[in-house]
Amino acid sequence: MLSTYRQFIERQALWSVGDKVLLAVSGGPDSVAMAELTARLGVEFGIAHVNFGLRGEESDGDEDFVRQLAQKYNVPIYVTHADTTRYADVKGISIEMAAREIRYAEFARIMANDGYDVTAVAHHRDDAIETFFLNLLRGSGIRGLTGMRVRNGKVVRPLLCFSRADIEEFLTVNGLDYRTDSSNRENEYARNKIRNIVLPIIDEISDNARQSITESIGYLGMAKRVYDNAIENVAASVLSESNGAIIADIPGILGYVEPECLLYEILSRYGFGKMQCREVFRQLTGESGKIFYSNTHRLVKDRNTLIISNLNDVKADTDRTQIVLGRADVDAGMLDTHTWHLRMEVIECDEFVPERDSKTAYFDIDKLSFPMTVTGWERGDSFVPFGSNCHKKLSDLFIDQKLSLGDKSKVEILRCGGKILWVIGIRASNYYRVTPSTRQILKMTATPIA
C-alpha cells in the first residue's frame, strides 16, 4: 500500500520533495492511515485537528487521541475548538456546511502562518462515490458528477486511490488504533443514508459495482474536460468587456445549440445559482431593465446584452459624489468630473460662432448662479431641451439616444439653480441660452475621460 501511495502522489504531483504537508486528522480510520503512510514516506508534516464540539465527550476523546498521535510521530499539532452549531445558526447554513467552512478556513490560516505547502485530507474512493450520488440527487450537472478532485488549490487528496476496504485492511494488518465516529452509523444525514443504505444495496446488485462507478466517474471527468473546452470556445465568442463590465451577447447565446446550458456555464462563474440562471434565461427575450444579484456581481438585462458588473464597481458608481463648479473653476478654465474633462471659456458676443456639437454647450453667463453642480441623473428628472418649449423626461431622451443601461449609469448632469442646464455630452437645455441681449457667453466643451 505504501508504494501505491507514493506512486499516486508522484503521478498526481500532489506535493514535491521538501514540501511541508499539513495533514487534516480527525482520528478516524482514514486520517490515521494517511498519517501512518505519510510518516513512512519521510515527509515533513504537521497535524491539524478541529474539535467541532458536536458530540460532547466523544469529540474531546477524538482530540486527545489525535494529540497522542502527534506525539507518536513527534510532529506539530494545531487544534481548533469551534462552536459549530452557533456558526451554522449565524450563517443560516447546515451543520455539515458549517463544519466544512470552519475546517477549510482553519487549514488555510495554519498554512499561511506556518509555511505549509499543501493540506492533505483523507477522502478515499468510497467518499468520491458517495459525493457522486449526493450531487446526482442535487441535480448538479456534469461538474458535480466528476467526483472529488485530487487537487483543489492547495488541498490534496492522496487517498483517492484506495477504497474504504483497502484502508481498513491496512489498519488491521499494522495494528493501528483509530477512533470511530458514532454519528457515521446514524442515518440523519444524506451522506450516511447513501453510505449505509444505498451502496450496500448496489453491492448486492453487482459485486463490482463500486469499481464500475469509479470508472464511470473517471469517464465523466474526461468528458467534462472536452465539455469545458467547447464551452470556453463558445463563451469567448459571445463575451466582451466594456468599462470593466462583462458584456454577454444575447443573440449569440440564443443561437447556441443549448443556450440555457451555455448561459448557466457563463453566469455560474460570477456566483449566480441554478435557479437564478433559469430566471435570467426566461428574461432573455423580455424587456430591458431586469436586475439580478449574486453575492459578488450584478447582472442587468439590456436590449441585446447582459451586463455583468462587479458589485464593488457598482457601488463605486452609485456612490459618486456631487461635484461643485464655482466661478473660480470657470476662470481656471478646467474641471474634471467622474466622466468628463470640462474645458470652459468666457467669450464676447461679437466673437460667438456656435459649433453644432452635443459635447459643446453655450450659456448666458450673467444669468447663471454659482456654484453650479455636476451630479448623476435621478429617476423622474426632466428638462426643456435646447430649441424646445416643452419638458422632456431624461428617460425618454435616453431612449431617443439609444443609450445602453451601462451608458445611462455614467450620465452626468450640470445643474444650476435647481434646473438641469446640460445633460453633459448629450443635450443642452433651453435655460439660460444665448439670446440677442446676451453680453458674455460661457462656452463649455466636454471630453470623455479615458
Q: What is the DSSP string of 161-215?
A: TS-HHHHHHHHHHTT------GGGG--SSHHHHIIIIIHHHHHHH-TTHHHHHHH
Domain 320-448: state its class: alpha beta
Share of the chain above pLDDT 70, in %: 97
pLDDT at 320 over 60: no
* Type of residue numbered 262: L
How many residues belong to the chain? 450
- Say whether pLDDT at 216 is over 60: yes
pLDDT above 70 for 369: yes
The whole-chain average pLDDT of the chain stands at: 89
The least confident of 193-202, 280-289, 436-445 is 280-289
pLDDT of 318 > 70? The answer is no
Helix axes 164-173, 29-41, angle to 10 degrees: 70
What is the C-alpha separation between 222 and 228, in angstroms, rounded?
A: 10
Greatest mean pLDDT range, 61-75, 281-295, 396-410: 61-75
**pLDDT > 80? residue 114:** yes
Per-domain boundaries in the chain = 2-218, 243-316, 320-448
**Residue keyed to cell 484502508:** 167
Calculate the alpha carbon distances from 101 to 96, 209, 315 in Å.
Answer: 9, 32, 28
* Maximal C-alpha separation, the chain: 106
CATH architecture label of 243-316: 2-Layer Sandwich (3.30)
Q: Name the pLDDT band for 183 (thresholds 50, 70, 90).
A: low
Closest CA to 303 of 281, 286, 288: 288
What's the CATH fold of domain 2-218? Rossmann fold (3.40.50)
Q: How many other β-carbons are positioned within 10 Å of the β-carbon of residue 254?
A: 16
Q: Which amino acid is at 307?
A: I
On the question of pLDDT at 315 being above 70, the answer is: no
Distance of CA 7 to the CA centre of its chain: 35
Check residue 233 and give its pLDDT.
Answer: 93
CB 372 within 8 A of CB 323: no
